[in-house]
A and B are shown apart, each in its own frame.
Chain A
Amino acid sequence: EVQLVESGGGLVQPGGSLRLSCAASGFTFSSYWMSWVRQAPGKGLEWVANIKQDGSEKYYVDSVKGRFTISRDNAKNSLYLQMNSLRAEDTAVYYCARINWNYDYWGQGTLVTVSS
């Protein structure tokens, strides 16, 4: 059974940093592109970043470029999102998702709250 489990969310002050993790199981993690998608409270889905199977290609939405870094450790079947210089507008539930010609499996999400 495919499972994606996010962790690392919490309350952080504006300007602070946080690292999210996504533990994958039930499939060959190293064979898939992976993605982070976020959802602000009461709002729609927003794509954040994608990473290629070997980590050699990474893509970001404009609003997080230069602040967020997506990475992966295929030996640990894990996906990460390093978030720096956090802003109030980054407050959201962050989901990791597997890309298989579509976003076919999603984690349950982890809540990041940026507030003083």
Chain B
Amino acid sequence: EIVLTQSPGTLSLSPGERATLSCRASQSVSSSYLAWYQQKPGQAPRLLIYGASSRATGIPDRFSGSGSGTDFTLTISRLEPEDFAVYYCQQYGSSWGTFGQGTKVEIK
């Protein structure tokens, strides 16, 4: 079973700053099946990035994903007020859908 570990647990930043979120897998995973989701309080998760680096429909270009093998990164180039939320990485296949434990991006 692949375990995804996200760091840091909480990121305290100001609007306009750059956010860098990490997702590390316990063994190598296919980049094709690595996604990032954003979740705000009381809402369902929203797909941001799929295939490690492709933005989902309607996602602003300040969000970008990168990485391969066991190390993946979500970068938010300039934080907007609506970007403060919890972010999850996920490694998925037909028979599983493991999530990381999440990184909370909070206003400093």
Contacts and interface: CB of A to CB of B under 8 A. Distances in A.
Partners in one complex: yes
Interface of A: 33, 35, 37, 44-47, 50, 52, 57, 59, 95, 99, 101-104, 106-109
B72 interface: no
B92 A103 contact: yes
Main SS class of interface, A: strand
Contacts, number: 67
A105 to B, nearest CB: 8
B26 to A, nearest CB: 16
Given A103-B47, A104-B56, A106-B44, A44 B94 contact: no
Interface string B55-88: 0100000000000000000000000000000101
Contact of A45 (B33, B43, B99): B99
By CB atoms of chain A within 10 A, which of B37, B51, B92 has the most?
Answer: B92
